[in-house]
Amino acid sequence: MADDLTGIRLRPKAQADLEDIWRFGAETWSPEQADRYLDGLLAAFELLREMPLIARERDEFSPPVRIHPTGPHLVIYRIADRHLDVLRVLGGRQDWHRLLDALD
């Protein structure tokens, strides 16, 4: 597998996670701060697209996923069809084991 992937796909749950993260940031701090934080997450997606093997495969989940910490959040992704397939973006304090058991 080549290191560099051709694109990034956000699954619906990941998109909803990003919307929730932005909303929380905007309500807690400011829309500008929420925008900056979201930009940081999008930059992390780009890093993972360029170096997808940076996180090890977690085969305790079926099918296996990769989990990369970004600030207080975890980017849960797979490599599929030469794309970074972002499944979820979860807070590190969330019960992410339970949430990952319900992946589509």
Asked whether residue 2 is domain-assigned, the answer is no
Asked whether residue 59 is domain-assigned, the answer is yes
The residue type of 25 is G
Residue 104: CB partners within 8 Å, gap ≥ 6? 11, 13
Q: Containing domain of residue 82, as a range?
A: 7-101
Give the tens place of pLDDT for each residue, 67-96: 999 999 999 999 999 999 999 999 877 676
pLDDT at position 93: 72
Asked whether residue 1 is domain-assigned, the answer is no
Inter-axis angle of helices 31-50 and 12-28, to 10 degrees?
Answer: 150
Asked whether residue 12 is domain-assigned, the answer is yes
Q: Which CATH number goes with the domain that contains 53?
A: 3.30.2310.20
Question: How does DSSP assign 62-92, residue by residue?
Answer: SS-EEEEEETTEEEEEEEETTEEEEEEEEET
What percentage of the chain exceeds 90 in pLDDT?
75
pLDDT at position 62: 83
- Whole-structure pTM value: 0.88
> What is the residue whose two structure tokens read 């085969």?
59
Asked whether residue 75 is domain-assigned, the answer is yes
Residue 10 Ramachandran class (φ > 0 left, ψ -120 to 50 alpha, else beta): beta
- Whether the CA torsion 34, 22, 65, 7 is positive or negative: it is negative
Report the domain count for the chain.
1
